[in-house]
Chains A and B, each alone.
Chain A
Amino acid sequence: MLLPEFDIDESRWSGVAEAPAPGRQLAVAQALRALLPADCVLSRDEELHPYECDGLAVFRQQPMLVVLPRTETEVRAVLLACRRLEVPVVARGAGTGLSGGAMPHAAGVVLSLARFDRILQIDPAARIARVQPGVRNLAVSEAAAAYGLFYAPDPSSQIACTIGGNVAENSGGVHCLKYGLTLHNVLGLRGCTIDGEPIELGGCALDAPGLDLLALSIGSEGLLLVVTEVILKLLPKPELAQVVMASFDDVGKAGEAVAAIIAAGIIPSGLEMMDRKATAAVEPFVRAGYDLAAEAILLAESDGTPDEVADEVRAMERVLQANGATAIAVSASEAERLRFWSGRKNAFPAAGRISPDYYCMDGTIPRNRLGHMLKAIERMEHKYGLKCMNVFHAGDGNLHPLILFDANRSGEWERADRFGADILELCVQLGGTITGEHGVGVEKLNSMCVQFSPAERAAFFSVKRAFDPPGLLNPGKCIPTLARCAEYGRMHVRHGQLPHPDLPRF
């Protein structure tokens, strides 16, 4: 196989921990201060330190500088300066990401878009919202509620996470099974390339002429451009929603039931699974009324007109019963529906209450392998000596195992890290992927080596180079270098076999 010839390029900025040359910080800070108001450039150690990580605090790197522009003109000026001075740029929204996508670069600038927090327009007739990237996800639905509309993607962090971050990570949420990911709910965006050039992709219509670069940009994790404005699709709020809660005495049966619901042609607006460890952890805090004797519970939501909901709920009950549900409850009121969901919504924080730290994994597998995966995770718990509770967006096969550990105990994070990597490798083996909605960031670089061949990896780099020739936008994230994959392969010899024997070893 022909190896890519541009290996030197791709690794140029890949070392996110490589410190800047002496005097560099001062020079770049001076250049940026000439372009921005004084309160927009942070350069003292104590100011930079709180920016060292996003929502995944185990990966930390203090940046060289932080800039907080307020206008697109300022963003362009920053990008132009960074391009000229060859400074890596890491865009950041609310810093709630769970893959370290906004973790800074030691020799780079963090470009915070938190001050781009205005909803520019809501057009109820066209059912669109034009927003700045720093607008919080939930704020869009709150503003649209006055017109009976909502914005569908609803990641667990929706109270705080920004639309810009959602675009970067192609975020999902409970309702993406029916309404799609960010990709399916963004009509257009405006941004800047590393050359400071404004770029508009998509528009107010469902399709745009030419190559679909909009789709390419969504989920590109800040590697291609910096987004400064987004056009979102709004949907009419459903009249009614009801949740069916079903108990199972076996995780395998619960997994089969999920597959059976989808196979029956039903698309619930949410279809979630929690295992016994997860229900046991959340119940004392939220008192959602979960069946603690069940090995797994499913929460399946139907929304629409009252007639549609009644039909769909009946159909789901039939499928669940046929697949061995030991108990079924249907929410009788809006309050009860929210109570059923409260446990699922609070699963991550509940993990934070029973354990000092938790590591939230994110992978996907075919729906009918859920049971297999859960049993494998149980074996890994023994192997690594760590507990893991499981909450899944079961309907789309998206797993969120929560590995519990204590970062203050030496060695525990390393074990949790390997535990997580094992889960992701199994995802790939089962025909799934290493990320469902959190992105690759810095967290899953090694797992990318498992998922993709060297040629595919090289193709990703070619796309990045087409947008960002100098490789300055969020370098060292999302796409692993050839050297990294080779190193990871060398460390991970299984059954006497290298996982990628075709890779050259260093």
Chain B
Amino acid sequence: METRLADWIKGTTQGDSANDILRACVHCGFCNATCPTYQLLGDELDGPRGRIYQIKQVLEGTPATRNTQLHLDRCLTCRACETTCPSGVDYGHLVDIGRAVVESQVRRPLNERLLHWLLREVLTRRGLFGGALRIGRALRFALPRALHAGLGEHRAPGAWPRRTHARKVLLLNGCTQPALAPSIDAATARVLDAIGVQALVDARSGCCGAIRHHLHDQRGALQNARRNIDAWWPQLDSGAVEAIVINASGCTTMVREYAWLLREDPAYAARARRVSDATRDLAQFLGPQLPLLLRCVRPASITRIALQNPCTLQHGLKLKHDVEQLLSALGAQLLPVDEPHLCCGSAGTYSLLQPKLALELRARKLAHLLHAQPQMILSANIGCLLHLAAGTAVALRHWIEWIDELIVTS
């Protein structure tokens, strides 16, 4: 498409990136076909092509309004459009740039700013969040239904393996997952242990930064990124660990983004690139280890599985088939799921900020997941897991927990 960027952004890093992305778009409209919000709302303004147009308008000098902000807020950043786009438009980065510009031009009303601040400061602090969660679970009956999705239920994590191995990887010292579902990290460590890989967690690392990033706190997100790079660097640089392995695909996507986010930071650009390159989603890491894994599992008892492929996994990381292949090889019968490309509505903090659309998408996703009557639904991301679990009685687990059940301890 033709572009005429305004002088105030022309020639800047953001401006140049945005211009390159906009020029790749040929306005064909294929993206709308797989956009969840366009499917629900049927308005050009709520599809990727229209959002690109609105961002272009702002970058070309038309002041943004609350309305522009609304249509950008409604985007789940699921990036299904990127998978569909035949011209390779890098929508995710464009919408980041667009949102930041709009945020700088349009002041949100106080209640929104307060909610964003609260989510940023509570969710990303482990101690604070853990405490709030315990209170929330105890007072579940008194909370609005929209918040129930975020509460989950407590499951005992089980023992953390004590063996040491020559092969080592770093796990993310996540923010909400350890409090919400400590069993996921423990299961990850046990499965890795079974194949002779020791999982380390560096206490100085923490939230990947995605929450702040989505809640328009770019500076805070970059601080999270720098803190993690500092924490991981010694072990990574010395070769003590072979990879950074992350078991929440949303966080994997964010850490893989460090290279792009810090590309202009002379002190961190090179290390950010190394960190991003060394980061693997758990499925990606375990795939090549399948022969080792097959030696230490027993046949599965729960086999009728519906897999929910999180958007961050299939569109963000382009790892559409990795979990499927792993589970099938271990004896899962993966049931057909319609519209597998559509987001479940969780999308980070989206389910809390856009509850109406999120619940519509959840209902649609659950109908597809439950269609073939699975014994269990498996996901690869903590956000999707909790969001979906609040809408069904069928058991929902992280796929690594299903594999953990199969491990025969030697």
With contacts A47-B67, A112-B44, A114-B43 taken as known, whether A95 is within 8 angstroms of B53 at the C-beta atoms is no
Residue among A94, A346, A357, A408 having the largest count of chain B Cβ atoms under 10 Å: A94
Closest to B338 in A: A142
Report the separation of the CA atoms of residues A352 and B44 in the bound assembly, to the nearest whole angstrom.
22
Q: A96-B30, A357-B26, A407-B2 are in contact. List 17 more A-B contacts (CB 8 A).
A: A46-B54, A49-B53, A49-B57, A50-B44, A50-B53, A57-B2, A94-B32, A95-B29, A112-B42, A114-B44, A136-B33, A348-B28, A352-B26, A353-B24, A353-B88, A358-B26, A408-B3
Report the separation of the CA atoms of residues A358 and B26 in the bound assembly, to the nearest whole angstrom.
8
Report the separation of the CA atoms of residues A49 and B24 in the bound assembly, to the nearest whole angstrom.
20
Chain A residues numbered 84-104 whose CB sits less than 8 Å from any CB in chain B: 94-96
The 8 closest A-B pairs by CB, nearest first: A349-B86, A407-B2, A115-B42, A50-B53, A160-B33, A352-B87, A114-B42, A57-B27
Cβ of B67 and Cβ of A94 under 8 Å apart? no
Cβ of A57 and Cβ of B26 under 8 Å apart? yes
Residue among B26, B32, B84, B87 having the largest count of chain A Cβ atoms under 10 Å: B26
Report the separation of the CA atoms of residues A57 and B280 in the bound assembly, to the nearest whole angstrom.
40
With contacts A46-B67, A49-B57, A134-B42 taken as known, whether A349 is within 8 angstroms of B87 at the C-beta atoms is yes
> With an 8 A cutoff between CB atoms, is B62 at the interface?
yes
Report the separation of the CA atoms of residues A115 and B39 in the bound assembly, to the nearest whole angstrom.
9
Cβ of B23 and Cβ of A356 under 8 Å apart? yes
> With an 8 A cutoff between CB atoms, is A159 at the interface?
yes
Cβ of A50 and Cβ of B86 under 8 Å apart? no
B224 partner residues in chain A, CB cutoff 8 A: none
Contact of A353 among B28, B29, B49, B87 (CB under 8 A): B87
What distance in Å separates the Cβ of A14 from its nearest Cβ neighbour in chain B? 25
> With an 8 A cutoff between CB atoms, is A157 at the interface?
yes
Cβ of A348 and Cβ of B33 under 8 Å apart? no
> With an 8 A cutoff between CB atoms, is A68 at the interface?
yes
Cβ of A357 and Cβ of B1 under 8 Å apart? yes
Interface residues on A, range: 35 or more
> With an 8 A cutoff between CB atoms, is A300 at the interface?
no
Cβ of A159 and Cβ of B42 under 8 Å apart? no
Report the separation of the CA atoms of residues A136 and B49 in the bound assembly, to the nearest whole angstrom.
16
Q: Which A residues are closer than 8 A to B by beta carbons?
A: 42, 44-47, 49-51, 53-55, 57-58, 68, 94-96, 112, 114-115, 117, 134, 136, 138, 157, 159-161, 346, 348-349, 352-353, 356-358, 407-408
B53 partner residues in chain A, CB cutoff 8 A: 49-50
What distance in Å separates the Cβ of B5 from its nearest Cβ neighbour in chain A? 10
B50 partner residues in chain A, CB cutoff 8 A: 50
Report the separation of the CA atoms of residues A467 and B391 in the bound assembly, to the nearest whole angstrom.
51
Cβ of B62 and Cβ of A46 under 8 Å apart? yes
Report the separation of the CA atoms of residues A57 and B34 in the bound assembly, to the nearest whole angstrom.
21
Q: Mark B74-111, 1 if CB is under 8 A from A, else 0.
A: 00000000001111100000000000000000000000
A58 partner residues in chain B, CB cutoff 8 A: 2
Chain B residues numbered 15-29 whose CB sits less than 8 Å from any CB in chain A: 23-24, 26-29
Cβ of A160 and Cβ of B86 under 8 Å apart? no
Report the separation of the CA atoms of residues A170 and B203 in the bound assembly, to the nearest whole angstrom.
64
What distance in Å separates the Cβ of B341 from its nearest Cβ neighbour in chain A? 11
Closest to B65 in A: A46
B1 partner residues in chain A, CB cutoff 8 A: 57, 357, 407
A348 partner residues in chain B, CB cutoff 8 A: 26, 28, 86
> With an 8 A cutoff between CB atoms, is B184 at the interface?
no
What distance in Å separates the Cβ of B41 from its nearest Cβ neighbour in chain A? 8
Report the separation of the CA atoms of residues A160 and B29 in the bound assembly, to the nearest whole angstrom.
7
Cβ of A46 and Cβ of B68 under 8 Å apart? yes
What distance in Å separates the Cβ of B149 from its nearest Cβ neighbour in chain A? 26
Cβ of B54 and Cβ of A50 under 8 Å apart? yes
What distance in Å separates the Cβ of A83 from its nearest Cβ neighbour in chain B? 24
A358 partner residues in chain B, CB cutoff 8 A: 26
A95 partner residues in chain B, CB cutoff 8 A: 29, 44, 49
Contact of B24 among A51, A68, A352 (CB under 8 A): A352
Report the separation of the CA atoms of residues A50 and B88 in the bound assembly, to the nearest whole angstrom.
21
Report the separation of the CA atoms of residues A105 and B55 in the bound assembly, to the nearest whole angstrom.
23
A349 partner residues in chain B, CB cutoff 8 A: 26, 28, 85-88
With contacts A49-B57, A57-B26 taken as known, whether A408 is within 8 angstroms of B67 at the C-beta atoms is no
Contact of A159 among B27, B33, B62 (CB under 8 A): B33
B68 partner residues in chain A, CB cutoff 8 A: 46
Contact of B29 among A47, A94, A134, A407 (CB under 8 A): A94
Residue among A46, A55, A349 having the largest count of chain B Cβ atoms under 10 Å: A46
Report the separation of the CA atoms of residues A115 and B41 in the bound assembly, to the nearest whole angstrom.
7
Cβ of B28 and Cβ of A55 under 8 Å apart? yes
A46 partner residues in chain B, CB cutoff 8 A: 54, 57, 62, 65, 67-68
Q: List 29 A-B contacts (CB under 8 A).
A: A42-B43, A49-B54, A49-B62, A50-B44, A50-B54, A51-B44, A57-B2, A57-B26, A57-B27, A94-B29, A94-B32, A95-B29, A95-B44, A95-B49, A96-B29, A114-B38, A115-B42, A117-B39, A134-B42, A136-B33, A138-B33, A159-B34, A160-B28, A160-B32, A346-B86, A352-B24, A352-B87, A353-B87, A408-B2
A346 partner residues in chain B, CB cutoff 8 A: 86
> With an 8 A cutoff between CB atoms, is B45 at the interface?
yes
A117 partner residues in chain B, CB cutoff 8 A: 39, 42
Report the separation of the CA atoms of residues A408 and B26 in the bound assembly, to the nearest whole angstrom.
13
Report the separation of the CA atoms of residues A57 and B3 in the bound assembly, to the nearest whole angstrom.
12
Report the separation of the CA atoms of residues A353 and B87 in the bound assembly, to the nearest whole angstrom.
6
Report the separation of the CA atoms of residues A286 and B310 in the bound assembly, to the nearest whole angstrom.
26
Chain B residues numbered 171-207 whose CB sits less than 8 Å from any CB in chain A: none
Residue among A349, A357, A408 having the largest count of chain B Cβ atoms under 10 Å: A349
Report the separation of the CA atoms of residues A44 and B64 in the bound assembly, to the nearest whole angstrom.
12
What distance in Å separates the Cβ of A61 from its nearest Cβ neighbour in chain B? 14
What distance in Å separates the Cβ of A71 from its nearest Cβ neighbour in chain B? 13
Report the separation of the CA atoms of residues A334 and B84 in the bound assembly, to the nearest whole angstrom.
22
Closest to B4 in A: A408
Cβ of B42 and Cβ of A157 under 8 Å apart? no
With contacts A49-B53, A95-B44, A114-B42 taken as known, whether A55 is within 8 angstroms of B2 at the C-beta atoms is no
Cβ of A68 and Cβ of B42 under 8 Å apart? yes
What distance in Å separates the Cβ of A46 from its nearest Cβ neighbour in chain B? 6
Report the separation of the CA atoms of residues A346 and B109 in the bound assembly, to the nearest whole angstrom.
45
Q: Mark B293-306, 1 if CB is under 8 A from A, else 0.
A: 00000000000000
Residue among A117, A346, A353, A356 having the largest count of chain B Cβ atoms under 10 Å: A356
Closest to A409 in B: B2
A160 partner residues in chain B, CB cutoff 8 A: 28-33
A47 partner residues in chain B, CB cutoff 8 A: 45, 67
Residue among B31, B33, B45, B65 having the largest count of chain A Cβ atoms under 10 Å: B33
Closest to B62 in A: A46
A114 partner residues in chain B, CB cutoff 8 A: 38, 42-44
Residue among B30, B39, B68, B84 having the largest count of chain A Cβ atoms under 10 Å: B30
B42 partner residues in chain A, CB cutoff 8 A: 68, 112, 114-115, 117, 134
B2 partner residues in chain A, CB cutoff 8 A: 57-58, 357, 407-408
Cβ of B27 and Cβ of A53 under 8 Å apart? yes
B49 partner residues in chain A, CB cutoff 8 A: 50, 95
A54 partner residues in chain B, CB cutoff 8 A: 29
Report the separation of the CA atoms of residues A160 and B49 in the bound assembly, to the nearest whole angstrom.
12
A157 partner residues in chain B, CB cutoff 8 A: 28-30
Residue among A53, A58, A159, A358 having the largest count of chain B Cβ atoms under 10 Å: A159
What distance in Å separates the Cβ of A353 from its nearest Cβ neighbour in chain B? 6
Cβ of B32 and Cβ of A68 under 8 Å apart? no
Closest to A98 in B: B28
Report the separation of the CA atoms of residues A159 and B29 in the bound assembly, to the nearest whole angstrom.
10
Report the separation of the CA atoms of residues A367 and B27 in the bound assembly, to the nearest whole angstrom.
31
Residue among A47, A53, A161, A358 having the largest count of chain B Cβ atoms under 10 Å: A47
Closest to B35 in A: A160
A112 partner residues in chain B, CB cutoff 8 A: 42-44
